[in-house]
């Protein structure tokens, strides 16, 4: 009986020993996992330099983080909403302080200015991401920043009104520099004007000629320039026959209006032909003008398409018409005759009396 009881007690103790061992194993494993997890969490610390400032002064706030190489850390931002107590002056770059295998120690610094008096309690904190974990890690220490302000004793200080403006006496030395430079500029301007007058007098001109408008060009000069421009546009070569003949007749109308004072710009082709009959023109010029106006009306109103030779012929006819009807340019003999003094009537009569007819001399 006793042996049987001893055997049962031994089995009971063996079972209890196994249970206690299994429980101890799981407890130790859980502690190891907790220790490992705790060791992998980043460690945060910080510092404030200096820890006592006046209101509006600047201070440096630094956050140190010791983390694993594979963990991502996000530092806080300053200067946004909710940070009215501080103003961000400079956001410094992240510095690497230490590196030991997979462990890194980083530091992020901020240059801030405080505008609220009192004791500011700051807890350094960062956000980190590790695999599927995103969490906020805070420092175990709280940083204290004392911000003081100015004390104004209104009882011992009298408040005065704003003083009026104080006018200083005028000193001539203050404007002597301006007077010197002004006189020098006026002297240079006078020299330039004098030199310009001498040069213009050398060429027989006056200073007022500089402000006179340029004399208008003769109508034939304007017409020749317009014809040269028309040839360069190559209108009929690009099948713009109507525009080509409209431009060509407008050049002739402008020339006739300036040369003969005929309102050709407001006349039809027939009216221009009738008006030019009262003007003495070379027969070929009159025929060329009539032919150009007739051909132009056929192109503009009857949609006729002339050949290339006809277009060139119309251009040459317009050029010849202006060339043959332009005013004659004075020759050198005419200029010399204009320079000679005019002969008096008495001298003319004396010369006439001294000349004998040829038949009387032969007798």
Give, for 227, the enclosing helix (H) or strand (E).
helix 219-233
Looking at the structure, tell me whether residues 143 and 240 fall in a common domain.
no
Looking at the structure, tell me whether residues 205 and 297 fall in a common domain.
no
CA angle 188, 194, 197 (to 5 degrees): 145
Which of 160, 191, 212 corresponds to the end of one domain?
A: 212
Sequence length of the chain is 363
pLDDT tens digit string along 245-287?
A: 999 999 999 999 998 988 888 999 999 989 888 888 888 988 9
63 inside domain: yes
Looking at the structure, tell me whether residues 202 and 264 fall in a common domain.
no
Query: Mean per-residue pLDDT for 36-47?
Result: 74
Q: In this structure, are residues 110 and 126 in contact, taking their beta carbons and an 8 Å threshold?
A: no
Nearest residue to 262 via CA among 283, 284, 246, 278: 278
Query: Given this model, what pLDDT does residue 12 score?
Result: 57
pLDDT tens digit string along 101-120?
A: 888 888 999 999 888 888 88
Give, for 285, the enclosing helix (H) or strand (E).
helix 283-301
Beta bridge partners of 99: 104
Query: Given this model, what pLDDT does residue 292 score?
Result: 92
| Residue 156: DSSP 8-state | T
Looking at the structure, tell me whether residues 242 and 275 fall in a common domain.
yes
Query: Given this model, what pLDDT does residue 67 score?
Result: 86
Q: Which residue has the tokens 């001294």?
A: 354
Query: Given this model, what pLDDT does residue 9 score?
Result: 54
CATH code (residue 112): 2.60.40.10
Give, for 235, the enclosing helix (H) or strand (E).
none
Query: Given this model, what pLDDT does residue 19 score?
Result: 59
Question: What SS3 state is found at 84?
Answer: coil
What token pair was written down for 41? Answer: 């969490």
In angstroms, the CA 19 to CA 2 distance is 26
Helices (H) and strands (E) in the chain, counts: 10, 11
50 inside domain: yes
Query: Given this model, what pLDDT does residue 72 score?
Result: 85
In angstroms, the CA 153 to CA 355 distance is 128
186 inside domain: yes
Query: Given this model, what pLDDT does residue 192 score?
Result: 92
189 inside domain: yes
Looking at the structure, tell me whether residues 49 and 137 fall in a common domain.
yes
Beta bridge partners of 356: none
Beta bridge partners of 59: 112
Query: Given this model, what pLDDT does residue 348 score?
Result: 44
Looking at the structure, tell me whether residues 229 and 311 fall in a common domain.
yes
Looking at the structure, tell me whether residues 196 and 225 fall in a common domain.
no
Residues ≥6 apart with Cβ < 8 Å to 115: 55, 56, 84, 85, 86, 87
13 inside domain: no
Looking at the structure, tell me whether residues 113 and 80 fall in a common domain.
yes
Beta bridge partners of 44: 65
Domains: count for the chain:
3
Nearest residue to 269 via CA among 230, 295, 243, 247: 295
pLDDT tens digit string along 312-358?
A: 999 999 999 999 998 887 655 554 444 444 444 444 444 444 444 33
In angstroms, the CA 189 to CA 52 distance is 67
Query: Given this model, what pLDDT does residue 240 score?
Result: 92
Q: How far apart are the first and last CA of the chain?
A: 210
Confidence (pTM):
0.40
pLDDT tens digit string along 61-86?
A: 999 999 888 888 888 887 655 456 78
Query: Given this model, what pLDDT does residue 1 score?
Result: 44
296 inside domain: yes
Q: In this structure, are residues 46 and 145 in contact, taking their beta carbons and an 8 Å threshold?
A: no
Confidence of residue 224 (pLDDT cuts 50, 70, 90): very high
Which of 148, 166, 200 corresponds to the end of one domain?
A: 148
Confidence of residue 242 (pLDDT cuts 50, 70, 90): very high
4 inside domain: no
Looking at the structure, tell me whether residues 203 and 226 fall in a common domain.
no
State the residue range of the domain holding 48: 43-148
pLDDT tens digit string along 163-219?
A: 888 888 888 888 888 999 999 999 999 999 889 888 888 888 776 766 777 778 899
Q: Which residue has the tokens 């404030």?
A: 48
């Amino acid at each position: 009986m006793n042996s049987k009881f001893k055997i049962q007690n031994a089995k009971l103790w063996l079972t209890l020993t196994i249970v206690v061992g299994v429980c101890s194993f799981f407890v130790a494993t859980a502690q190891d996992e907790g220790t490992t997890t705790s060791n992998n969490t980043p460690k945060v610390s910080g510092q404030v330099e200096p820890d006592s400032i006046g209101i509006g002064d600047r201070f440096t706030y630094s956050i140190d983080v010791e983390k694993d190489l594979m963990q991502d850390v996000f530092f806080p931002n300053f200067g946004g909403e909710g940070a009215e107590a501080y103003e961000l002056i400079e956001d410094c770059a992240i510095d690497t302080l230490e590196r030991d295998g997979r462990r890194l120690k980083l530091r992020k610094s901020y240059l801030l200015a405080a505008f609220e008096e009192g004791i500011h309690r700051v807890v350094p904190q960062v956000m980190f991401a590790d695999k599927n974990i995103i969490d906020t890690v805070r420092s175990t220490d709280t940083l204290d920043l004392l911000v003081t302000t100015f004390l104004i004793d209104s009882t011992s200080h009298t408040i005065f009104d704003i003083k009026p403006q104080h006018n200083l006496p005028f000193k001539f030395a203050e404007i002597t520099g301006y007077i010197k430079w002004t006189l020098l500029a006026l002297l240079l301007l006078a020299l330039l004007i004098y030199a310009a007058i001498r040069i213009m007098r050398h060429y027989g001109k006056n200073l007022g000629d500089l402000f006179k408008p340029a004399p208008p060009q003769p109508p034939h000069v304007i017409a020749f320039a317009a014809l040269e421009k028309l040839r360069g546009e190559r209108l009929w070569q690009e099948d713009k026959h109507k525009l080509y003949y409209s431009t060509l007749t407008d050049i002739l109308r402008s020339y006739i209006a300036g040369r003969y004072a005929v309102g050709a710009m407001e006349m039809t082709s027939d009216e221009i032909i009738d008006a030019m009959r009262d003007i003495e023109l070379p027969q070929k010029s009159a025929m060329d003008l009539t032919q150009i106006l007739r051909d132009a009306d056929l192109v503009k109103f009857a949609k006729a398409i002339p050949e290339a030779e006809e277009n060139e012929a119309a251009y040459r006819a317009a050029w010849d018409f202006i060339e043959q009807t332009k005013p004659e340019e004075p020759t050198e003999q005419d200029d010399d005759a204009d320079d000679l003094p005019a002969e008096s009537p008495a001298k003319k009569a004396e010369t006439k009396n001294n000349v004998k007819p040829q038949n009387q001399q032969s007798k």
